[in-house]
Structure 1
Amino acid sequence: MTGSHCYCFSGIISIFFSLIIHTLSSTTPHFCLHHQREALLEFRDEFPIDELDPNPWNKNTTDCCLWKGVMCDDRSGQVISLNLADTSLNGSFKTNSSLFRLQYLRHLKLSYCNIQGEIPSSLGNLSRLTVIDLSHNNLVGEIPASIGNLKRLRHVELGANTLIGAIPSSLGILNQLRYLSLAANELTGEIPSSLGNLSSLLELRLSINHLVGQVPASIGNLNDLQVISLGQNTLNGTIPTSFANLTKLYHISLRSNNFTSTLPFNMSGFHNLEHFDVAANSFLGSFPKSLFTIPSLQVVYLDDNQFTGPIEFVNTSKSSSSPKLEILSLSSNIFIGLVPESISNFLNLGEINLCENNFNGPIPRSISKLVNLHDLNLANNNLKGQVSASLWRLTTVTLSNNFFSSFENPSEETVIQALDLNSNSFQGPFPHWVCNAKGLSFLDLSNNLFNGSIPLCLKNSIVSFSDLILRNNSFSGPLPDIFASATELRSLDVSRNHLEGNLPKSLMNCKSLQLVNMESNSIKDVFPTWLGSLPSLHVLILRSNEFHGTLHHHHVFVGFQSLRIIDISRNDFTGTLPPHCFSSWRGMTILREEDDPYMADIINDSVFYRNSMVMVIKGVELSFERIQQDFRAIDFSGNRIYGEIPESLSFLKELHLLNLSGNAFTSHIPRSLANLTKLETLDLSRNKLSGQIPRDLGELSSLSYMNFSSNLLRGPVPGSTQFQRQNCSSFSDNDRLFGLEEICGKIQVSPPTSQQHEQLSEPEEQLFNWGAAAIAYGPGVFCGLVIGHIFTSHYHKSWSKKNTIKGR
């Protein structure tokens, strides 16, 4: 090799290594700066955490740029990003937090960190920030106005906290902002018009607050806006006409406000729109036909408004309509007329909800063309005619409260999971095709004209049942013994039929059972003590049957630890109640916060079944569609039970209603009933009770109704306010009671002399010893759902999905 060639080659090698050295020096991260490291360590020490796994923040790890959630600039070593999302910091920001010494910080992400306290105004000193995410914490106080100092911000996420006060108008200065979410807080006041200056904004999420007033017209200046979510506030007025400028919107949610205007006449300009939700307002006007000409439209919620007139779809050719429409919900409006056949042109429809309107006529046959349809709700209309067998291929069908009279039987096995035919005019025998519905979970045939027997073949499908509701028909014969494999069954309501015979013992296998309602049949059996072994039984209704036998056995009420409502009234039970018969009823003794607010069996996140109940209150039968979680009731009225009222009733501290009327109870009224501090209704009428009315009952502030009539009571009626508010009839037919002048408005005979009064007085009774009683209680078992006043089953289809920060 010549010298010139060697020189050339060595030059190339030199240049090559120089490039490598330059590249390495420009890409290899520097160790973080000492003052940055110290600031991070001080920030760690502001919170009660031991370490940040998997890379602990401690002095033994020199390079803080390698710590969890820390990112440094490759050239300078300055900390530019801190992402500790999902780290339980469990503390509050300090006003002078060392965090604010990280002056080169661009990204700050501390979501789901359990941070409490206020957002310090010092945050406004981090002038290089482009991203702030403090969502899903426990932050309180106001959003500091100093946030307007952060001119480089592009992303602000403060949702799911408890922030209060007004939205700072200084946010309108942040002209580089592309994403703003303040959703799910406690913010008040109006939406500041300065937000209309955010010319780069793509998403505006202010839902689930307490904002008031009208939406400022300046929002129409945000020409690049793609998402606007203002749902669940108290906004009112009209939609600004300037919204027509927001042609890039693909998500609009104004749900649950007080808007009262009409929708824009021509909405076709929102040519990118996918999700449109204005449910739960007071929008007026006719069906917005132009909305359904948008090809990109996928979801429409117009529920719970005041839209009127017929619904019709125009320009429904595939090229100009909404071929992607998947959810159509028009419930709770004033729509009239037929459900148009043209609804089938939206071939991608999966959910249709038209309930609670005034639609009439038949179900359009064209619905059978919707091959993707799985959920249909036509409840509470004036629809009639025959139900097509094509509907049985759907997952959920709700046709309750209409005038349907018949249905076609399916030609093949159905895949239906929830079927509600409640309150129509169906008649004839039980539909045997249900026996082949292997996946059926919810069945409500109540309030129809079905007759004949409940078939044995139902045991083939009941394996998957959670709710079987056959209330108020004319079914007869015995309730078949078909429940051996019904381990998922939670609600069984066969009330108000003509059933007879005994209760099937196979119900013992229904370990998930929460409701048994046998009211108003002709069942002849003894009290089903064996039901006490069901761990989740909340409600037992045997009212108005031919149950009989004595109740004095000590084991008759053993178990029933989750029982909250029991009604065995209007039967032929006899015998005495054992003194400790209620001592195991934990469900009426304590109330747990985790109890569900209502009896609601949820299917596919959208189907709710609620039981209601008929009970005798103030001497009148009242029906309640649902009750709150804490209602507890005992109704033993209209039997032949005798002996003393058991002292163990005073264990049941959560009891709201106690009705022992129409029996043959004797002796005195226990003073220990005054321990029932939640009691609202007490009916002891039509017994053989003697002695005085305990004055302590007058201290029960919640007790609004009492009835002691038709007994052998004597002595003065207590003078407390609770007694003086009762009707005179509540004390009638007790010849030796006195002191009723103010209650009855009559002049009575002179009160007894002091000697007579002494003869009427009784020895002081000992209040029930709660300390000793507590020994009898073991750990309580609370499972499942809570019901309320029972007897009228109601199946309700709700399309109000749970809102999320990224949702409506």
Structure 2
Amino acid sequence: MMTGSHCYCFFGIISIFFALIIHTLSSTTPPHFCLHHQREALLEFRDEFPIDEFDPNPWNKSSPDCCLWKGVTCDDRSGQVISLNLADTSLNGSFKTNSSLFRLQYLRHLKLSYCDIQGEIPSSLGNLSRLTLIDLSHNFLVGEIPASIGNLKRLRHVELGANTLIGAIPSSLGKLNQLRYLSLAANELTGDIPSSLGNLSSLLELRLSINHLVGQVPASIGNLNELQAISLSQNNLNGTIPISFSNLTKLYHISLRSNNFTSTLPSDMSVFHNLEHFDVAANSFLGSFPKSLFTIPSLQVVYLDDNQFIGPIEFVNTSSSSSSSSSSPKLEILSLASNKFIGLVPESISKFLNLGEINLSGNNFNGPIPRSISKLANLQTLNLANNNLKGQVPAYLLRVTTVTLSNNFFSSYENPSEETLIEALDLNSNSFQEPFPRWICNTKGLRFLDLSNNLFNGSIPPCLEDSIASFSDLILRNNSFSGPLPDIFASATELRSLDVSRNHLEGSLPKSLVNCKALQLVNMESNRIKDVFPSWLGSLPSLHVLILRSNEFHGTLHVFIGFRSLRIIDISRNDFTGTLPPHCFSSWRGMTVLREEDDPYMADIINESVFYRNSMVIGVKGVELSFERIQQDFRAIDISGNRIHGKIPESLSFLKELHLLNLSGNVFTSHIPRSLANLTKLETLDLSRNKLSGQIPQDLGQLSSLSYMNFSSNLLKGLVPRGTQFQSQNCSSFSDNDRLFGLEEICGKIQVSNPTSQQPEQLSEPEEELFSWTAAAIAYGPGVFCGLVIGHIFTSYYHKIWSKKNTISGR
């Protein structure tokens, strides 16, 4: 029999047991089905957008519980929809002003990024008062950001980046005092940064980059004491950085790149003691080297390039306030390029043992490369181009992956005693006067080699065959190499460009080049190569540029089979003879249509910091003007200065993308084909110094792009076309054609001869320098195809037109 105490204990145990059962059952009870009106609102919302057959409706209408649908989250207790995440679902339509979405009044999270949504953001969005997160990024949204977003006082995260939103940033965003993340980057926003953003006291990240914002950064930004990351890059902001910026001591990321700031940096950068990433490149910041910046132990990335900083650089000791756990500074990337720094590159740069990339190019540094750089075991990229450095190139640099030393005064190199790791070496435009570096024959991974614009001499060694299998670019132009170009290309299947122009090479073209299936450019200009036309190069599927200018090539040109990707050919100033068959250009698809898919090698060769940049030289009456790069869609044919005779081939009219045609200085006869009027993109036409007869086709007057032409020294007759482009030419473009008439407006003279004779009096205007051009090399740039190197001699009129079309672009 149980006593009272035992009975009390027993019932207590039973009570605990049942309580545990009830708790267990309640904790495993499934959530309520979503409410009927919520389910209907979701279905109506999805039906507002067209169904993509490749991305069908993710919700099963036959399933009664919408809380189990993809991307839908419900409250466990009430069944109300509280989160909608359809990221990466192709909705491919626009929001309706009265969209059923806005009936989901308990919605907290709305994530519709990468959904192909178009149209405007409805102001009705401001009615979802419980929202804490909005992500509509990476869509095609247009119009202005609705001010009603400022009504959503619970918002903590707003992401509207990567759309096409316009107008000003609404000042109502300053009401969102719980906001922690705001990104409006990569839109078309204009106007000032509203000072009301300084009210966002909880904000951790502010990203407004890649817009069209103007004015100064408001001082109120300095009130954001919790801010950890700010990105204002690629806008049109100007003026100074507000003094209050120094209050933002928790920042780890600062990016102000590509604006118009003109101030100095804060005098004491060490206040940003958490800073990891600092980017103020491409502005006009002034002042001396910010030494205090480099005392921050957490600093990892610094971009100061393309500003107006002056004076020497100096790296002082790391701040004593750093934690004892920091074994060494963490700096990994240092770019000081394109400033006005002077003096020596300090030995103390080696204190940053984690450096993987150094770019000091485009300054006025002098002296040798500091030996201490050999201590940087992690260094992958070193760019010291465009300085006044001199001395010997140390062998330890050959352990670095990418080395750019162009445009300095280096005169020798140290032979390596160990295996090299280098993949890209640019020694362009220095003072080397040595034979070809034999150690290059022992490299295994070298891809990019530029020794151009030096005084390297002797022969190109056959042992290069041992390493050339890895090469993508071999650039040896403008040196003093002599002898034959060795037949070493059998294994060079990765080679994209070969430029040995302006040397003293002899012999014939190496037949092994036919194995270089990736080859885009061959430049043999200004050597002494004696060979017939290499028609076998026509089998190369990606050959864009072929330059054989100013050599001793000879023989007929009757075989132009293949060359399907050719864009530029310059075989001028040789001794080619014979006639051109009527259909010889019919297979040249690279000049017929623009097809980017024909160019599988447009990506950068190795690294953003290495690219093959060439210059374009325009000579106007003996004065050479240098430009860089031309548009990648440029197409040109120059076969001038040979002895080719017969008719101009009709198949030239198939080359719809042709911009430049130079047939001057040959022995072409018969008429100028009327079909040349089909070349609607033609900008330059030179048919001078031939034996062409008949009239200049009147249809050529309709070529609106034709800005330079030369028909001089032929047997032409009749009326000069009346088109605007013809009437703007120099008189010398038509000289030495005694039977041409209609030149009064062009030459500024009234003809006095009998008009029935169709023979005007001899024109007395002195003839200008005749047009010719030189094409040189293809260029590769960061992530893009960077164009071609063309040397030209134009008239002053054509130079004026051309120079407006070409820009210089850097890293």
Moved more, 723-732 or 321-330: 321-330
- Report deviation, 1:291: 0.6
C-alpha change, 1:617 and 1:90, in structure 2 (3 Å) is: farther
Moved more, 796-805 or 520-529: 796-805
C-alpha change, 1:779 and 1:478, in structure 2 (3 Å) is: closer
> How far apart are the structure 2 equivalents of 1:454 and 1:398?
22
Moved more, 506-515 or 785-794: 785-794
Cα deviation digits, residues 59-101 of structure 1 (max 9, x gap): 2111111111111111111111111111111111111111111
Q: Which runs of 5+ in 1 are unaligned?
A: none
Cα deviation digits, residues 253-312 of structure 1 (max 9, x gap): 000000000111111111101111000000011111111111111111000000011111
Cα deviation digits, residues 677-719 of structure 1 (max 9, x gap): 1111100000000011112111111111110011011112222
C-alpha change, 1:390 and 1:768, in structure 2 (3 Å) is: closer
> How far apart are the structure 1 equivalents of 2:770 and 2:801?
48
Q: Which runs of 5+ in 2 are unaligned?
A: none
- Report deviation, 1:601: 3.5
C-alpha change, 1:579 and 1:561, in structure 2 (3 Å) is: same
Cα deviation digits, residues 508-558 of structure 1 (max 9, x gap): 11111101100000111111111111111110000000010011xxx6111
**Higher relative contact order at CA 8 Å, sep ≥6: structure 1 or structure 2?**
1
Partners of 1:159 and 1:805 within 8 A in 2: no
> How far apart are the structure 2 equivalents of 1:538 and 1:176?
58
Partners of 1:583 and 1:777 within 8 A in 2: no
Partners of 1:612 and 1:792 within 8 A in 2: no
- Report deviation, 1:760: 20
C-alpha change, 1:764 and 1:518, in structure 2 (3 Å) is: closer
C-alpha change, 1:800 and 1:89, in structure 2 (3 Å) is: farther
> How far apart are the structure 2 equivalents of 1:771 and 1:326?
42
TM-score, normalized by length of structure 2? Answer: 0.91
Q: Secondary structure at the match of 2:613?
A: strand
> How far apart are the structure 2 equivalents of 1:670 and 1:787?
27
Cα deviation digits, residues 179-218 of structure 1 (max 9, x gap): 0000000000000000000000000000000000000000
Cα deviation digits, residues 462-490 of structure 1 (max 9, x gap): 11111100010011111111111111110
C-alpha change, 1:382 and 1:756, in structure 2 (3 Å) is: closer
- Report deviation, 1:761: 26
> How far apart are the structure 1 equivalents of 2:584 and 2:288?
62
Partners of 2:482 and 2:504 within 8 A in 1: yes
Partners of 1:171 and 1:195 within 8 A in 2: yes
Cα deviation digits, residues 138-161 of structure 1 (max 9, x gap): 111100000001100000010000
> How far apart are the structure 2 equivalents of 1:642 and 1:787?
27
Choose from 126, 129, 150 the match for 2:128: 126
Q: How does 1:368-517 map to 2 (within 5 A)?
A: 368-517=374-523
Q: Secondary structure at the match of 2:49?
A: coil
- Report deviation, 1:741: 2.0
Q: Secondary structure at the match of 1:146?
A: helix
> How far apart are the structure 1 equivalents of 2:124 and 2:592?
51
> How far apart are the structure 1 equivalents of 2:61 and 2:382?
62
Q: Secondary structure at the match of 1:601?
A: coil
C-alpha change, 1:766 and 1:37, in structure 2 (3 Å) is: farther
> How far apart are the structure 1 equivalents of 2:714 and 2:54?
72
> How far apart are the structure 2 equivalents of 1:805 and 1:84?
43
- Report deviation, 1:626: 1.1
Cα deviation digits, residues 102-145 of structure 1 (max 9, x gap): 11111111111111111111110111110111111111110000
Q: Secondary structure at the match of 2:39?
A: helix
C-alpha change, 1:502 and 1:614, in structure 2 (3 Å) is: farther
Partners of 1:52 and 1:68 within 8 A in 2: no
Q: Secondary structure at the match of 1:772?
A: strand
1:324 aligned onto 2:330: yes
Q: Secondary structure at the match of 1:672?
A: helix
- Residue 99 of structure 1 is matched in structure 2 by 101
Cα deviation digits, residues 351-375 of structure 1 (max 9, x gap): 1100000111111111111111111
Q: Secondary structure at the match of 2:759?
A: helix
Choose from 23, 44, 48 the match for 1:42: 44
Partners of 1:399 and 1:420 within 8 A in 2: yes
Moved more, 310-319 or 431-440: 310-319
C-alpha change, 1:802 and 1:682, in structure 2 (3 Å) is: closer
Cα deviation digits, residues 35-57 of structure 1 (max 9, x gap): 11111111111111268989941
Partners of 2:500 and 2:523 within 8 A in 1: yes
- Report deviation, 1:806: 25
Moved more, 790-799 or 677-686: 790-799
C-alpha change, 1:262 and 1:781, in structure 2 (3 Å) is: closer
> How far apart are the structure 2 equivalents of 1:498 and 1:492?
16
- Residue 747 of structure 2 is matched in structure 1 by 744
Cα deviation digits, residues 389-409 of structure 1 (max 9, x gap): 111100000000000000101
- Report deviation, 1:735: 1.2
- Report deviation, 1:5: 5.5
- Report deviation, 1:774: 31
Partners of 2:561 and 2:584 within 8 A in 1: yes
- Residue 20 of structure 1 is matched in structure 2 by 21
Partners of 2:521 and 2:777 within 8 A in 1: no
Q: Secondary structure at the match of 1:342?
A: helix
1:223 aligned onto 2:225: yes
C-alpha change, 1:126 and 1:471, in structure 2 (3 Å) is: same
C-alpha change, 1:58 and 1:151, in structure 2 (3 Å) is: same
- Report deviation, 1:744: 1.7
> How far apart are the structure 2 equivalents of 1:390 and 1:764?
57
Q: Secondary structure at the match of 2:119?
A: strand
Partners of 1:106 and 1:128 within 8 A in 2: yes
Q: Percent identity?
A: 90
> How far apart are the structure 2 equivalents of 1:242 and 1:45?
50
Q: Secondary structure at the match of 1:799?
A: helix
TM-score, normalized by length of structure 1? Answer: 0.91
Partners of 1:610 and 1:794 within 8 A in 2: no
> How far apart are the structure 1 equivalents of 2:157 and 2:88?
19
C-alpha change, 1:792 and 1:737, in structure 2 (3 Å) is: closer
Partners of 1:47 and 1:89 within 8 A in 2: yes
C-alpha change, 1:68 and 1:489, in structure 2 (3 Å) is: same
> How far apart are the structure 1 equivalents of 2:709 and 2:117?
51
**Count of paired positions:** 805
Partners of 1:368 and 1:390 within 8 A in 2: yes
Cα deviation digits, residues 759-793 of structure 1 (max 9, x gap): 99999999999999999999999999999989999
C-alpha change, 1:792 and 1:742, in structure 2 (3 Å) is: closer
> How far apart are the structure 2 equivalents of 1:345 and 1:2?
83
C-alpha change, 1:797 and 1:405, in structure 2 (3 Å) is: farther
Moved more, 522-531 or 792-801: 792-801
> How far apart are the structure 1 equivalents of 2:678 and 2:595?
19
Task: Kindly report the root-mean-square deviation, in angstroms, between the aligned alpha carbons of the 2 structures.
Answer: 6.6
Partners of 1:43 and 1:99 within 8 A in 2: yes
> How far apart are the structure 2 equivalents of 1:568 and 1:291?
55
> How far apart are the structure 2 equivalents of 1:772 and 1:807?
21
C-alpha change, 1:131 and 1:212, in structure 2 (3 Å) is: same
Moved more, 218-227 or 45-54: 45-54
- Report deviation, 1:608: 2.1
Partners of 1:393 and 1:416 within 8 A in 2: yes
Partners of 2:738 and 2:762 within 8 A in 1: no
C-alpha change, 1:309 and 1:537, in structure 2 (3 Å) is: same
- Residue 54 of structure 2 is matched in structure 1 by 52
> How far apart are the structure 2 equivalents of 1:776 and 1:585?
22
- Report deviation, 1:12: 3.2
- Report deviation, 1:8: 5.2
- Report deviation, 1:452: 0.8
> How far apart are the structure 1 equivalents of 2:779 and 2:331?
60
Partners of 1:535 and 1:783 within 8 A in 2: no
Partners of 2:297 and 2:330 within 8 A in 1: yes
Partners of 1:310 and 1:335 within 8 A in 2: yes
C-alpha change, 1:596 and 1:167, in structure 2 (3 Å) is: farther
